[in-house]
Structure 1
Amino acid sequence: MYFSVVVLLCVVKLINSQILWFQPEQIHLAYGKSVYDITVTWSTLNDTKASVVEYGIGGMILKEFGTCKFFDDGGYKGYGQYIHSVKLTGLTPNSIYVYHCGSSLGWSPQFWFKSSPDHKNWQPQFAIYGDMGNENAQSLARLQEETQRGFYDAILHVGDFAYDMDSEYGQVGDEFMKQIESIAGYVPYMTCPGNHEERYNFSNYLERFNMPEGNTSFMYSFDIGPLHIISISTEVYYFPYYGIKSIVFQYEWLENDLIKANLPENREKHPWIIVMGHRPMYCSSTDKDDCTHHETITRVGIPFLHIFGLEKLLYDYGVDVEIWAHEHIYQRLWPIYNYKVYNGSYENPYVNPGAPVHIITGSAGCKEGHDEFNMTRPEWSAFQSKDYGYTRLKAYNNTHLYFEQVSDDKGGMVIDSLWIIKNSHKPYRYSNMDWAAFDSVRLKNMNNFT
């Protein structure tokens, strides 16, 4: 009798473990080619032979099939998982969809998301942060609550995940993706790579996240309400095994994207251009990193040659806001170009500023803790804090953006806020009197592009 019971328990345990191998986990969303498409991504430990999302408004009455790919990050022979991806298109705008994902061998819990509105007065809202690990992810609980209460339309995670996704043969990455499921399963989780994703040729980043250009590209852009958001990789400047080719390729891709974004018909519909990348051009922390030096590589380009730098490119094409992380701080800068402040006026520095506004938001929480600031604050630093926290953005309309910084250390208190107000959007190097000159340059660039 005892032997029979033991055998039965072992069989039940084996069956349960086999079922768990097919169970979906690490569910997360992203925008597709437009914000009216949603990509659902998840993982299983074994091949389920099918990748299915059942979804609908008020009930899961629709079904969409997708693809599955085996992923081995190269860190340990035999370790791997199956990553599934399903694209949902033709969604009814401004509607709440329920969904689950999986196969006949196992389904995820039920999630929901709200599809994007299709009216021109949409005011999208975001949570923005970088440098969040699965240890000491202090901001995570508050972000989970706010996301599920409908505060945000999307998340922008500006590099550095899990610390690190490849650690412990990828298990740290798995745990992190499970942690953010309570955010990323409900709103698109839009990302860019950081330095902590570098191992095994950035494979953990590229395979785990499905951004609009797919898992072969670090760069992408998308339009959402009045915003044109561009995501780039600062890491191509810092890991020499990529060579100069990747720097040149991204630079040319970015310039072509900015040319198209500045076409009158595009800038009229999406006037605000926001660029996000992991490593900042400016900072005043004490960690002796690249941004603490005058000639930051991403800012001025390849050392000594000073080519393919990003600051002049973003300035020349009228980028409004540049969002960075990497430093475990929050820092807001005055409008700046080449270390010179270009405030709109003394009374209203962010009203019609003469250069991009930089924001560093890398304090979501990780095992490396805080960074410290220099004793003397530079004249271009408008506000700085080392509290754990994250940034919120609301795009009100074509002329007004609102940012605020949430301190998790202070129980969710807003410790900084600003309005950026612009009556027109165009490259900073051209005044209103020189608009015809800019138009001729734009046409020349477009001819070269086409």
Structure 2
Amino acid sequence: MESLQHLLLLTSLLLVAGGGIGFIPQVVGADQEEVSIVHYQPEQVHLAFGDSLRDITVTWSTRSSPNASLVNYARNYAKDKLIVMKGTWQRFVDGGHKARQQYVHNVILRDLEPDTRYEYSCGSELGWSPVFSFKTPPAGENWSPSLAIFGDMGNENAQSLGRLQQDTERGMYDAIIHVGDFAYDMDTDNAAVGDAFMRQIETVSAYVPYMVCPGNHEEKYNFSNYRARFNMPGETDSLWYSFDLGPVHFVSFSTEVYYFLNYGVKLLTKQFDWLERDLAQANLPENRAKRPWIITYGHRPMYCSDEKEYDCDGKLETYIRQGLPLIKWFGLEDLFYKHGVDVEIFAHEHFYTRLWPIYDFKVHNGSVQQPYRNPKAPIHIITGSAGCKEEREPFSNDLPAWNAFHSNDYGYTRLKAHNGTHLHFEQVSDDKDGDIVDSFWVIKDKHGSYGL
């Protein structure tokens, strides 16, 4: 039993030192000892906007439950009196055969001051994260938010991540939008790949709100990894939601409810009803006057420039565009057209494509000289080239007439909403050492329905 006494002494020393890992010896028999390891140290830290821009949600994971979810924060962590905010945690068990478990913690920091930098640490008395920081958005709509937008990055070959980390360290973005397909896949290796991905993006997601939507690679076990790991605004398990940022109303939705009907049709109908209500609310005159731009994002595109996808080859109607096969219910193109959506952002295809303003396969440019000035239909952008192990995809030999620009360089998109009349987009090529391979302005003097 002498070795057991030594182990107990070591355990006491480690726990007194406040370490995130404790060793709990359990005597199985007189001559046998079994040691289990518990992890209290926070990891996978990421931020999201709450139901208000003055609320920031902090989410992280621990391998074991410390029975507490705390965030300490202040403007100056080292000098100011720390504010302590309590939150909640839930046990998440992956659906793989090992049934690996972890505890996902959520703490909402409420009523923060606008346009203010805060420093914070999350965890419990059994283990704390490093000190991170974030900056809250300015109040109101009269300012110019900047965002990075991309999909399909992956844990393996996440080529764009290093440049995104540098951009974040320079304070270039007010938010990040990841348009589905995260780790390839989060459930792989009993969710160990999902853990590795969330740790990998922490150098971005712990410093700026990381807003997301589900992709097809999150489908396993009814999107359980996605639902558990992310905490977006609203109460829909992050499947659909909206938020306002400066002069823009952003709308996130799931394209996957059209394709995985084995989980039921109810999610599809609930999302469609919610989209109708949200877009109608955003189009009330007083709301559209304050936030003229409406930008949607979902994973699978309505139009494609390749022939790989079984429902996106120009011969078949995409489900999200036209609705479910045969019955043509719940199509989104008419809905977005009716409510005057300005820009629709997608991913899924592992390249970048900018489309001319389009509706029902027809180009509706503003004019020959200025196609994106007062366009007569929404503008679609496909930005699915951040990385991932599936690598790049080729374009069709015969590109469609509505294809305005394309590139299969690895990279990501930048958006700056200058005001209620001007949006600026850039496509960053990581292959070309950060060069801007595409840049264009969207200018609108009036926002609203394109008419049906």
Same topology, TM > 0.5: yes
Greater shift in the superposed pair: 363-372 or 215-224: 215-224
Provide the residue aligned with 1:298 in structure 2: 320
Q: Compute the displacement of 1:70 (Å).
A: 0.4
Aligned to 1:100: 121
After TM superposition, give the deviation of residue 247 of structure 1 in Å.
1.7
> What pairs up with 1:106-145 in 2 under 5 angstroms?
106-145=127-166
Shift of 1:289: 3.6
- C-alpha displacement of 1:119: 4.4
Find the aligned partners of 2:384 and 2:48 in 1 and give their Cα distance: 21
Superposed displacement of residue 311, structure 1: 0.4
Query: SS where residue 423 of structure 2 aligns?
Result: strand
Q: Which of 330, 333, 341 is the equivalent residue of 1:308? A: 330
Matched residue type, 2:55: D
Counterpart selection for 1:162 from 160, 176, 183: 183
- Separation in structure 1 between the aligned mates of residue 171 and residue 428 of structure 2, nearest angstrom: 17
The one-letter amino acid of 2:312's match is: C
**Residue of structure 2 equivalent to 1:18:** 22
**Contact (CA 8 Å) 2:213, 2:238: kept in 1 or not?**
no
Q: Secondary structure at the match of 1:393?
A: strand
Please name the residue that 1:438 is paired with. Answer: none
Residue 345 of structure 1 is matched in structure 2 by 367
Aligned-pair RMSD on alpha carbons? 1.9
- Counterpart of 1:398 in structure 2 is 420
Give the counterpart of 1:41 among 40, 43, 59: 59
Q: Does 1:186 align with 2:211?
A: no
Equivalent-residue separation in structure 2 for 1:243 and 1:67 (angstroms): 29
SS state at 1:292 partner: coil
| SS of the residue 2:264 aligns to | helix
Mapped partners of 1:125, 1:115: distance in 2: 13
Take 1:289 and 1:231, find their aligned partners in 2: how far apart are those partners?
24
Query: 1:209 touches 1:215 (CA, 8 Å); kept in 2?
Result: no
Report SS of the residue matched to 1:169.
Answer: coil
After superposition, give the CA deviation of every residue in 1:64-84 in whole Å (9 maximum; x if it has no partner): 000011000222344100000
Aligned residue pairs, count? 428
Q: Which residue of 2 aligns with 1:318?
A: 340
For structure 1, list consecutive stretches of 5 or more residues without a partner in the other structure.
431-450
CA positional deviation for 1:292: 2.1
Question: Could you list the per-position Cα deviations for residues 248-286 of structure 1 after superposition, in whole angstroms to 9, with x for gaps in the alignment?
Answer: 211111011010000001001111000100000001113
CA shift in 2, pair 1:106/1:14, >3 Å: closer
In the aligned structure 1, how far is the partner of 2:162 from the partner of 2:374? 36
Give distance in 2, aligned partners of 1:89 and 1:355. Answer: 38
Which of 365, 380, 383 is matched with 2:387 structurally? 365
C-alpha distance in 1 between matches for 2:450 and 2:221: 40
Range with greater deviation from structure 2 (292-301 or 104-113)? 292-301
Please state whether the residue corresponding to 2:257 is helix, strand or coil: helix
Query: Equivalent residue of 1:167, what SS?
Result: coil
CA–CA distance in structure 2, aligned partners of residues 120 and 361 of structure 1: 26
* 1:68 aligned residue (68, 89, 96): 89
Deviations 1:110-161 (A, max 9, x none): 1000011114421000000000101000000000110111000000000001
Question: What are the equivalent positions in structure 2 for 1:201-350 lying under 5 Å apart?
Answer: 201-214=222-235, 216-293=237-314, 294-350=316-372
SS in 2 for 1:18: strand
Q: CA deviation at 1:9?
A: 11
Relative to total residues, which structure has the larger helix share, 1 or 2? Answer: 1
For structure 2, list consecutive stretches of 5 or more residues without a partner in the other structure.
Answer: 24-37
The one-letter code matched in structure 2 to 1:395 is A
Which residue number corresponds to residue 444 of structure 2?
A: 422
Q: For residues 160 and 14 of structure 1, what CA distance do their matches in structure 2 show?
A: 39
Rounded Cα–Cα distance in structure 1 between residues aligned with 2:309 and 2:144: 39
- The CA distance in 2 between the partners of 1:35 and 1:93, in whole Å, is 8
Structure 1 CA distance for aligned equivalents of residues 182 and 69 of structure 2: 26
The CA deviation at 1:245 is 2.3
Q: Is the 8 A contact 1:286 1:371 kept in 2?
A: no
Counterpart in 2 of 1:58? 76
For structure 1, which segment, 247-256 or 384-393, has the greater mean C-alpha deviation from structure 2 after superposition? 247-256
Identity across the alignment (%): 59
Q: Deviation string for 1:13-38 (max 9, x for gaps)?
A: 98664287000000000000022210
- State the distance in 2 between where 1:74 and 1:286 align: 33
Q: How many angstroms does 1:429 deviate by? A: 1.0
For residue 448 of structure 2, what is the amino acid of its counterpart?
K
Q: Following TM superposition, by how much is the alpha carbon of 1:287 offset from its aligned partner in structure 2, in angstroms?
A: 1.6
> Do the aligned partners of 2:98 and 2:190 also contact (CA within 8 Å) in 1?
no
Task: Identify the residue that residue 441 of structure 1 maps to in structure 2.
Answer: none
